[in-house]
Chain A
Amino acid sequence: MKGDRIFEGSTRFFAILLILIVGAISFLLFKESLPAMRKFGWQFPFSSVWDPVAEDFGAWPFIYGTVVSSVLALLIAVPLSFGVAIFLSELAPPYLRTPVAFITELLAAVPSIIYGLWGLFFLVPWLRNSVEPFLIKYFGFLPFFKGPPYGIGMLAAGMILSIMIIPIISSISREVLQAVPNHQREAALALGATRWETTRMAVLRFGKTGLLGAVFLGLGRALGETMAVTMLIGNRPEVSLSLLAPGHTMASVIANEFTEASGEIYLSSLMGIGLTLFALTLAVNSGARFLVWKVGGKAGRE
């Protein structure tokens, strides 16, 4: 009896502690960003100026860069990851299933600076010499592919992010698909459905919310990723429709400028960006959790 009470009390304490920590982080970010909010008001998230010398700050280029690079990453990563997941859970022969799943998950454990280095020394030259000249030549009439081929820029950042989130999305999707009860598949097959029809109608439809949750978790990682993006995005606070142009993200600007930021407004503006990023990732992740929970079963508890 007594042991139970201690056990319950201590676990409750840890659970509450976690909530308190999240609360403390948001409180601190809010408090520290107050001077910037007071000075710039509602203009702060929408202003494109970032001038530390004149102490005039706006977060828009960073919000834009974060969202665009992450969405770009999703556009590339989602079809690929779903393909991997469907192959592994529906089609792959058992001897292939375990090693491929293992290697995909291993990719998630590679530190982001390694991705950054690989991006800088392999991806960027390839983009600059082959991909971007091709895009400019044949699709240059579109606003997305204008400007000189630096190699470094939004496209490079989006691509490296997509590689980084593929393991997360594919491994969670695989678990979601595996959680689909077998009688779903059997019922579809019994009705004469082909393999593809079974997957599309019985499996994917059943796992819909869980798959969406996997996408959101990938998005959460992409939004907050710092190191690899900083190395590849060009760190230029500018809003440009072109994917070839350099950009900047919220996480990058904090990592870049926090150590040497002097002056209350400068620091406070960086905190304001931190608060925005925190709120955004929190919203995305809670959305994801909610969706994954709704599926329940094995995948829900991951």
Chain B
Amino acid sequence: MKNGMKKSLAGLSAALCLIAGASAAKADVNLNGAGATFPYPIYSKWFAEYNKMHPEIRINYQSIGSGGGVKQFTEKTVDFGASDAPLSDYELGLVKDPSTHIPTVLGAVVLSYNLPEAGSDLKLTGPVIADIFLGNVTKWNDPKIAAVNPGKTLPDTAIVVAHRSDGSGTTYVFTDYLSKVSHTWKGKVGTGKSVSWPAGLGGKGNEGVTGLIKQTPGSIGYIELGYALQNKLPYASVQNKAGAFVMPSIESVSAAAAGVKMPEDYRVSITDPDGKDAYPISAFTYLLVYKKQADGAKGKALVDFLKWAINDGEKLASALYYSPLPDSVAAKVNQTISQISVAP
């Protein structure tokens, strides 16, 4: 009896050795990443598609939020990070090893509203949006809104402002825009992933704000383009720097990115850009990678994936309401990726 058990144990361990040996021969590579929730749909699509072509490479991504992603990237507990807002100089200083931002796709922040009387072609300007979110404009029939919507009769309904209650890249982009177009906003509130809101109700996540807008007559809030489209909420066209009223769309966001002068480290804000076709409230989202890859197999897999994502993966973006990188930026990013050094 005892002997038999020993034999079967020996057999079992031999089998285990075989399995381990087999997988080592196939050289499975597991890449781990963490960060922003906003690009999660496109990233998970990319990882799944890439895994179909290269079954030995598995990329795990935890969409725990940019803050957590940056923290884990700084502590080197992940192979790559992801963030909606570019890292500040202070945050970048905490990252010990040289690293780089890789812009992947662009997203637009739109102003959705619940006011059937306004139809689906409400127009807003930067200063008016700032006044609404500062709580200075409190009625829909305010002369400031009427002035940019000639021919529209808006009702005497109270404006209910809806904003994000959780920290988010979306809030960062939106407040970054407002700080550029309104001195009062810059002085009183400022730019950040969460800010001290002068007015309104807070909802958790894009879905929370979407829910608030749907539920509350007279409300206006900022959400990502995809959420407005999926929930069939109307959204406003916004006046850009050139004076044109532009609807947010895949194209008008790419136009905003194409007009910007791109610095070497990609840390750039593209809100309130030049160009008459550019939608003014949009931003890049980034992957964070180390410039020197110490693990050869992992490093090679990561670089190959990035190349594929920037050149082929971009084509999958618009179906998920993200704007692909404009060609000028993609060319530059390709160059940056090829400069990542991988240990042999």
Give me the interface of A with B, judged by CB distance under 8 Å. Answer: 49-54, 120-121, 124-125, 128, 148, 150-152, 230-231, 234-237, 246, 248, 252, 255-257, 259-262
A262 to B201, CA, bound (A): 23
Please give, as numbers and ranges, the residues of chain B lying within 8 Å of A237 by CB-CB distance.
196
> B160 near A256 (CB under 8 angstroms)?
no
Extra contacts besides A231-B204, A234-B201 (9): CB < 8 Å: A52-B167, A53-B190, A151-B215, A230-B165, A256-B166, A256-B204, A257-B167, A260-B167, A261-B194
Please give, as numbers and ranges, the residues of chain A lying within 8 Å of B233 by CB-CB distance.
none
> B215 near A53 (CB under 8 angstroms)?
no
Contact A236 B194, CB 8 Å, known A53-B189, A259-B64: no
> A52 near B160 (CB under 8 angstroms)?
no
Cross-interface CB contact of A120 among B70, B166, B189, B215, cutoff 8 Å: B215
Please give, as numbers and ranges, the residues of chain A lying within 8 Å of B160 by CB-CB distance.
148, 150
Cβ of B91 under 8 Å from chain A: yes
> B70 near A235 (CB under 8 angstroms)?
no
Nearest chain-A residue to B160 (Cβ)? A150
> A235 near B204 (CB under 8 angstroms)?
yes
Nearest chain-B residue to A263 (Cβ)? B90
Cβ of B226 under 8 Å from chain A: no
**A112 CB → nearest B CB, Å:** 13
**A259 CB → nearest B CB, Å:** 3
Which of A54, A124, A260 is packed against the most chain B CB atoms within 10 Å? A260
Please give, as numbers and ranges, the residues of chain A lying within 8 Å of B326 by CB-CB distance.
none
Query: How does the 8 Å CB contact mask read for B7-43 relative to A, with 1 for contact and 0 for none?
Result: 0000000000000000000000000000000000000
A67 to B322, CA, bound (A): 43
Please give, as numbers and ranges, the residues of chain B lying within 8 Å of A53 by CB-CB distance.
189-192, 195-196
A49 to B300, CA, bound (A): 49
Nearest chain-B residue to A55 (Cβ)? B192
A235 to B215, CA, bound (A): 16
Contact A262 B70, CB 8 Å, known A51-B196, A52-B194, A151-B216: yes
Cross-interface CB contact of B200 among A51, A151, A236, A259, cutoff 8 Å: A236
Please give, as numbers and ranges, the residues of chain B lying within 8 Å of A248 by CB-CB distance.
202
Nearest chain-B residue to A124 (Cβ)? B215
Within 8 A of A (CB), among B158-212: 158, 160, 165-169, 189-197, 200-204, 208, 211-212
Contact A51 B64, CB 8 Å, known A150-B201, A150-B216, A236-B201: no
**B146 CB → nearest A CB, Å:** 22
> A235 near B196 (CB under 8 angstroms)?
no
> B167 near A152 (CB under 8 angstroms)?
no
Q: List 23 A-B residue pairs with CB atoms under 8 Å apart, sorted by A's residue number.
A: A50-B196, A51-B196, A52-B167, A52-B192, A52-B193, A53-B190, A54-B190, A120-B215, A124-B215, A125-B215, A148-B158, A150-B201, A152-B212, A152-B215, A235-B203, A252-B165, A256-B167, A259-B64, A259-B68, A259-B166, A260-B67, A260-B167, A262-B70
> A120 near B211 (CB under 8 angstroms)?
yes
A257 to B191, CA, bound (A): 16
**B107 CB → nearest A CB, Å:** 16
> A259 near B195 (CB under 8 angstroms)?
no
> A152 near B201 (CB under 8 angstroms)?
yes
A246 to B197, CA, bound (A): 13
Count contacts between A and B, CB distance < 8 Å. 91
Cβ of B65 under 8 Å from chain A: yes
> B168 near A51 (CB under 8 angstroms)?
no
> A230 near B201 (CB under 8 angstroms)?
no
- Those 6 A-B pairs whose CB atoms lie nearest each other, nearest first: A260-B167, A235-B202, A235-B165, A259-B65, A53-B190, A51-B196
Please give, as numbers and ranges, the residues of chain A lying within 8 Å of B216 by CB-CB distance.
128, 150-152
A18 to B91, CA, bound (A): 37
Please give, as numbers and ranges, the residues of chain A lying within 8 Å of B158 by CB-CB distance.
148
Cβ of B239 under 8 Å from chain A: no
Within 8 A of A (CB), among B60-108: 64-68, 70, 91
Contact A260 B166, CB 8 Å, known A120-B215, A150-B216, A152-B201: yes
Please give, as numbers and ranges, the residues of chain A lying within 8 Å of B204 by CB-CB distance.
230-231, 235, 255-256
Please give, as numbers and ranges, the residues of chain B lying within 8 Å of A152 by CB-CB distance.
201, 212, 215-216
Please give, as numbers and ranges, the residues of chain A lying within 8 Å of B201 by CB-CB distance.
150, 152, 234-236, 246
Cross-interface CB contact of A246 among B67, B169, B189, B202, cutoff 8 Å: B202
A4 to B68, CA, bound (A): 48
> A236 near B67 (CB under 8 angstroms)?
no
Nearest chain-B residue to A237 (Cβ)? B196
Within 8 A of A (CB), among B227-268: none
A252 to B192, CA, bound (A): 19
> A257 near B200 (CB under 8 angstroms)?
no
Please give, as numbers and ranges, the residues of chain B lying within 8 Å of A231 by CB-CB distance.
204, 208, 211
A235 to B168, CA, bound (A): 15
**B32 CB → nearest A CB, Å:** 18
A211 to B218, CA, bound (A): 45
A262 to B197, CA, bound (A): 18
Query: How does the 8 Å CB contact mask read for B50-68 relative to A, with 1 for contact and 0 for none?
Result: 0000000000000011111
Contact A262 B67, CB 8 Å, known A52-B196, A152-B212, A236-B197: yes
Please give, as numbers and ranges, the residues of chain B lying within 8 Å of A151 by CB-CB distance.
215-216
